[in-house]
Amino acid sequence: MKIKFLLFVFISTFLTVSCISQQTKAEQTKIDIAPENPYKCLGYNLSEKSSYLLPYPVGTDYHLVQGNCTRYSHKGTNRYAYDFGMPIGHEITAARGGLVYFVDMDTPDNTFRGKRRYRRYPNARGNAILIEHDDGTVGVYFHLKQNGALVKKGDTVVQGQPIALSGSSGFTTGPHLHFAVRRSRTDRQSLPVTFRNADPGEDFNLKSGNTYLALNSDK
Ligand SMILES: [Zn+2]
């Protein structure tokens, strides 16, 4: 009788523990597709009037793993950033033309694996290219592949021009491109941005969890 009771306690404890660990796993996967908070996401222009194209070549499509105004990492000055899930080595294109004024490509790929390695390369943005547009705003492209720049500092690039290869450098949970537009070189506040060649089209911002194909756009 006593043995049966002990067995019952053991089994019910085991079931409870495994339920908890499954729940934790589910919560962890949620982090990659963080829900937007629409109340903090305001000020977008209609997509069809946007000056921006998706930051990848026409005919390719990528999954938006994190959109704007999330509780995970797109908050504060980063709140209007987009994370496109993108394997290492895929071509990234200029969302808008401008002057390449900053290129840093020294961080090894996969620095997110293990805190010790990350501490050796403490730059959270990893490899980066920054492009100043004609209105003074700045397009930022982060977590690029080590030595994956296709342009150099001082170059002028046109919209849609290949600028770099995607990577997973800096603070990332996996390979992706972090793209945002900042107010200026010195003001890091991100601005609400839409894309005029995304399919499916959205009137305003792109939504976490959707896959967006880059359409041809002659504007
Ligand atoms: Zn991001």
Q: Which residues pair with 62 in a beta bridge?
A: 212
79 or 218, greater pLDDT = 79
CATH class label, 47-214 = mainly beta
Q: Are 11 and 43 in contact (CB under 8 A)?
A: no
Residue 78 backbone phi and psi in degrees, to 5: -90, 10
How remote is the CA of residue 135 from the centroid of ligand 1, in Å? 23
How remote is the CA of residue 23 from the centroid of ligand 1, in Å? 25
How remote is the CA of residue 48 from the centroid of ligand 1, in Å? 24
What tokens were used for 154? 């001082």
pLDDT at 186 over 60: yes
How remote is the CA of residue 61 from the centroid of ligand 1, in Å? 18
Q: Reduced to 3 states, what is the DSSP secondary structure of residue 11?
A: helix
How remote is the CA of residue 82 from the centroid of ligand 1, in Å? 6
Mean pLDDT, residues 145-161 taken together = 97
pLDDT at 117 over 90: no
Query: Strand runs (DSSP E) across 60-175, as ranges?
Result: 61-66, 82-85, 91-93, 98-104, 127-132, 138-149, 156-157, 162-166
Ordered by start, the domain boundaries in the chain are 1-32, 47-214
pLDDT at 118 over 60: no
How remote is the CA of residue 160 from the centroid of ligand 1, in Å? 21
How remote is the CA of residue 156 from the centroid of ligand 1, in Å? 25
The reported pLDDT for the residue numbered 72 is: 86
Q: What residues are neighbours of ligand 1 (ion), with CB under 5 Å?
A: 81, 83, 178
The reported pLDDT for the residue numbered 170 is: 86
Q: How far apart are CA 155 and CA 140, in angstroms?
A: 15
Residues 162-172: pLDDT tens digits? 999 999 998 88
The reported pLDDT for the residue numbered 187 is: 95
How remote is the CA of residue 72 from the centroid of ligand 1, in Å? 9
Q: Are 15 and 156 in contact (CB under 8 A)?
A: no
